[in-house]
């Protein structure tokens, strides 16, 4: 049972890591396409992820 939980947590961490890396690689094209400022990009990269992980950690996943 503990091995399944460990595997599930590892998979969740890998997806989280890959998601952040993809966004950081694509920040230049996203900025150019949407015409975002540095502040808007930082809000997208930091605040949006923090809110998403906070909400998901409390409600469906934390359940």
The structural domains of the chain, with segments of one domain joined by +, span 2-58
Q: Is 50 left (phi over 0), alpha (psi -120 to 50) or beta?
A: alpha
Distance CA 40, CA 35 (A): 10
List pLDDT tens digits, range 29-62. Answer: 989 999 999 998 888 888 877 887 788 777 666 6
Q: Is the pTM for the entire model greater than 0.75?
A: no
**CB distance 4 to 33 below 8 Å:** no
Asked whether the predicted pLDDT for residue 5 surpasses 70, the reply is yes
- Between CA 45 and CA 54, with CA 48 as vertex, the angle to 5 degrees is 125
């Amino acid at each position: 049972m503990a091995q399944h939980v460990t595997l599930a947590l590892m998979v969740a961490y890998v997806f989280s890591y890959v998601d952040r890396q993809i966004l950081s690689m694509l920040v230049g094209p996203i900025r150019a396409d949407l015409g975002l400022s540095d502040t808007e990009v930082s809000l997208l990269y930091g605040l949006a992820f923090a809110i998403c992980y906070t909400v998901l950690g409390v409600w469906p996943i934390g359940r």
